[in-house]
């Protein structure tokens, strides 16, 4: 028997609302399959499963808001019968869960209550179209009275509720602000940051990119930001202590180089979902991944693995004109790389002559519990060197 | 397509990238990317959508000619004739 729990979707997300199931009892699921859509303060996230099995039961209903770690579904493993799984569930719930009333104490009620005793209101039938519509309009389904068959909530009911509660999007904005505040507050309380920067001439990279892009139609063009991402990922090979997590008082190296990309959302706030294995992707593949990720982040449809497992974050505020950025590390990560604007500046070349060259200020925010400034400096130097050899990226 | 049709087509494609814009509020002879807050990824997506839907390929060297909405519409019309 496998209990499938709501996965962590990043440091600033500790609860989620189930929007819809993409599976039903009896379905066979495979690793990486999207099984549910969960709404967080930041976006609707496609939740993937990393087990194989057959869906035995769904223990959460759309509309319920639950903390990370709550059991959402029960799966049968290969060779298990439904009867065996039922018996195991009974045994477990008897051992683990005292009656609900005994469990209610401040701060824990929310953890134990929702998935056992759903409020009656949440069981009201809601048509999938109405649910999707409510999500688009940021309307809470709970307060809506249904006018459809058996009191079900229809699209028209959602519209009516949205008109009555036109302040809802503001609440969502406030919720995202609170989530960012919690994660960044924790970062600044717990992580002893150190900051380094280095000016990196970008002439070679810019010229190489222009030549490459000339050869290709608009659909296959690369952005300079993609070269920067790849250079960061490759440079990390020399300083692996910048890539990973701080968990339980020790450093845990990342299993791959999964670079979180800070993406500002049009409605305000930001997310930093991961592109996986950046060091092993070609520039063309990376461009595709980045375009897809930005598009999905803005549309509010990210995958749970992208939210939960970045091993380092890159932020590029140069786009907005900032000369340099010294970022706040996103816990439990241990480093953040920032790129400022690429702009022509006076630069003294190898011959001692002053020339106008495109230059970028790259910065590193490092976690001093894990790495020292000297290692951080080595990383920035490696990053500088990689960006001088764009053809090798 | 005439200039007005081209403007409508370009704006409807732009709305797929930046759904919150109000076409009526755009000043056609002021820099477009600042008014709509397009970063380089948005801009590239916009050009890709123009390519897909209007069949126009805009070389990177021409980006600097496309500052305002008027510039863009003029450029697209020119490409259509050529």
Q: Give tens-digit pLDDT for A237-290.
A: 999 999 999 999 999 999 999 999 998 887 778 889 999 999 999 999 999 999
Q: Give tens-digit pLDDT for B12-71.
A: 999 888 887 888 888 989 988 888 888 888 888 888 889 888 888 888 888 888 999 999
Residue of A nearest to B57 (CA): A218
Residue corresponding to tokens 């009333």: A101
CA distance A382 to A245: 21
CA distance A70 to B25: 47
Of the pLDDT bands very low, low, confident and very high (cuts 50, 70, 90), residue A22 is: very high
Q: What is the mean pLDDT of residues A109-137?
A: 53
- Asked if B40 lies within 8 A of A223 by C-beta distance, the reply is yes
Task: Estimate the crossing angle of helix A224-235 against helix A373-387, to 10 degrees.
Answer: 130
Q: What is the pLDDT of residue A196?
A: 98
Which candidate from A225, A266, A319 shows the least CB-CB separation from B20? A266
CA distance A347 to A358: 9
Measured between beta carbons, the chain A residues lying within 8 angstroms of B61 are: 214
Task: Establish if B39 touches chain A: CB-CB under 8 angstroms.
Answer: yes
Class at the top of the CATH hierarchy for domain A2-112: mainly beta
- Asked if B47 lies within 8 A of A319 by C-beta distance, the reply is no
How many domains does chain B divide into?
A: 1
Cβ neighbours, 10 Å, residue A268: 10
- Superfamily name with CATH number, domain A192-392: Chloramphenicol acetyltransferase-like domain (3.30.559.10)
- Superfamily name with CATH number, domain A124-190: E3-binding domain (4.10.320.10)
CATH number at residue B18: 1.10.1200.10
**Residue ranges covered by each domain of chain A:** 2-112, 124-190, 192-392
Instruction: Determine the structural domain holding residue B75 and report its residue range.
Output: 3-81
Task: Establish if A155 touches chain B: CB-CB under 8 angstroms.
Answer: no
A–B CB contacts, 8 A cutoff, strictly below? 40
Distance from CA of A266 to the nearest CA of B (A): 8
Q: Give tens-digit pLDDT for A105-118.
A: 333 333 333 333 33
Contact between A31 and A65 (Cβ < 8 Å): no
Largest CA distance in chain B: 33
């Amino acid at each position: 028997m496998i209990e499938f729990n709501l996965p962590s979707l990043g440091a600033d997300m500790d609860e989620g609302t189930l929007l819809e199931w993409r599976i039903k009892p009896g379905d066979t699921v495979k690793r990486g399959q999207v099984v549910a859509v969960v709404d967080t303060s930041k976006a609707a996230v496609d939740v993937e499963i990393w087990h194989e099995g057959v869906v035995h039961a769904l223990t959460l209903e759309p509309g319920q808001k639950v903390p990370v770690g709550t059991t959402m579904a029960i799966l049968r493993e290969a060779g298990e019968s439904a009867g065996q799984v039922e018996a195991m569930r009974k045994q477990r719930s008897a051992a683990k869960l005292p009656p609900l009333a005994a469990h209610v104490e401040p701060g824990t009620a929310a953890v134990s209550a929702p998935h056992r005793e759903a409020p009656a209101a949440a069981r009201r039938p809601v048509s999938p179209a109405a649910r999707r519509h409510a999500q688009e309009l940021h309307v809470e389904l709970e307060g809506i009275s249904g006018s459809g068959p058996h009191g079900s909530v229809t699209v028209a009911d959602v519209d009516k509720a949205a008109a009555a509660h036109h302040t809802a999007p503001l609440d969502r904005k406030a919720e995202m602000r609170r989530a960012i505040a919690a994660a960044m507050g924790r970062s600044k309380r717990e992580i002893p940051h150190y900051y380094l920067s280095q000016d990196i001439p970008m002439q070679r990279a810019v010229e190489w990119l222009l030549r490459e892009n000339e050869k290709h139609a608009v659909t296959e063009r690369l952005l300079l930001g993609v070269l920067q991402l790849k250079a960061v990922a490759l440079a990390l090979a020399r300083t692996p202590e910048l890539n990973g997590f701080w968990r339980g008082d020790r450093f845990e190296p990342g299993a791959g180089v999964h670079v979180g990309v800070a993406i500002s959302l049009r409605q305000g706030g930001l997310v930093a979902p991961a592109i996986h294995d950046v060091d092993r992707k070609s520039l063309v593949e990376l461009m595709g991944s980045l375009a897809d990720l930005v598009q999905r982040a803005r549309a509010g449809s990210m995958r749970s693995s992208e939210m939960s497992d970045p091993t380092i974050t890159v932020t590029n505020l140069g786009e907005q004109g900032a000369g340099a950025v010294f970022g706040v590390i996103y816990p439990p990560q241990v480093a953040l790389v920032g790129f400022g604007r690429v702009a022509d500046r006076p630069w003294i070349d190898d011959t001692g002559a002053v020339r106008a060259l495109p230059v970028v200020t790259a910065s590193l925010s490092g976690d001093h519990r894990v790495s020292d400034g000297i290692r951080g400096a080595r990383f920035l130097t490696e990053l500088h060197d990689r960006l001088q050899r764009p053809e090798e990226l | 397509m005439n200039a007005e049709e081209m403007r409508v087509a370009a704006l409807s494609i732009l709305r797929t990238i930046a759904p919150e814009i109000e076409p009526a509020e755009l000043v056609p002879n002021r820099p477009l990317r600042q008014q709509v807050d397009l970063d380089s990824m948005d801009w590239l997506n916009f050009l890709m959508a123009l390519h897909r839907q209007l069949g126009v390929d805009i070389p990177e060297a021409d980006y600097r000619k496309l500052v305002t909405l008027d510039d863009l519409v003029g450029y697209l019309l020119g490409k259509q004739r050529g």
